[in-house]
Amino acid sequence: MSFPDVRPRRLRRTPALRRLVEETRIAPAELILPLFLKEGLTEPRAISSLPGVVQHSRESLRKAAQEAVSAGVGGLMLFGVPDSANKDDTGSAGLDPDGILNVGIRDLISEVGDATVVMGDLCLDEFTSHGHCGVLSSDGTVDNDATLEIYGRMGVAQAEAGAHVVGPSGMMDGQIGVIRKALDRAGHQDVSVLAYSAKYAGAFYGPFREAVESTLQGDRRTYQQSPGNVREALREVELDVAEGADMVMVKPALPYLDVIAAVRERVDVPVAAYQVSGEYAMVEAAAEKGWIDRQGVMLETLTSIKRAGAQVMLTYWATEAAQLLRERY
């Protein structure tokens, strides 16, 4: 028999060789842990559709933050879940310095300081009685420009609570420019903006809506993107960068790896991707059935997101994945 002169398998022969030539490697510092803080809780509360994820009390939030920092996680993205009595048509609890989100940001800063990056979700959907990401016009549609003024004030409130980064996720036209100007006018020039630039109106958000106790009626297709569109995503990204975004995000991640790759080619700011609740829940459900290797799939999915071009990854596995990566490398 004749054999090939080129033998790529030589570099796969041992674990050490495979590690040596691995092309895509995730660092714990590239992972961001989303956290949910529920108003009024004294103990963490399980989220049934997100196994292993909880709504935190203020005390358990601090503990989770310390665990993430110890694992080397690069950031924490906080979502506030107010009591239903504190929701209204304009989401005013999101601006309240004593509202649950801003209280949580202060708690995180008090607990971890600059040891990791503390981020606040800048959106109204958790705080509005109707569940939309902005205020409504008389005809029931989301009023883009009226919402922008609130977003600017919300960004300043989070910065004053101590957030290192604000994450506008509402997909309103012009939101990044308005928030950037509001932050700068208030003396918060050093607070960064992570823009949810390409956020798709897909079917992967169900468990998240349980986590934040969403009251949404209808859908968000008039402001989030159609799953079939890539050129539109690139246009949104370019607009956000022009308005002052320090980082841009694609959400969800796995169904949009091609979009992540296209965005990476288009811009020179860091690109983030959010591995959303439905992506996480599918893996957890299949693993519970014994159908897949849970940890293997966890790291493989994150590797695919990194390989596509994301430098920063939001994932509910952030702490666990960081611990596994530190053991591996």
> What residues are labeled active site?
199, 251
Burial class (CB in 10 A: 0-12, 13-18, 19+), 243: middle
Contact in structure between 118 and 112 (CB atoms under 8 Å): yes
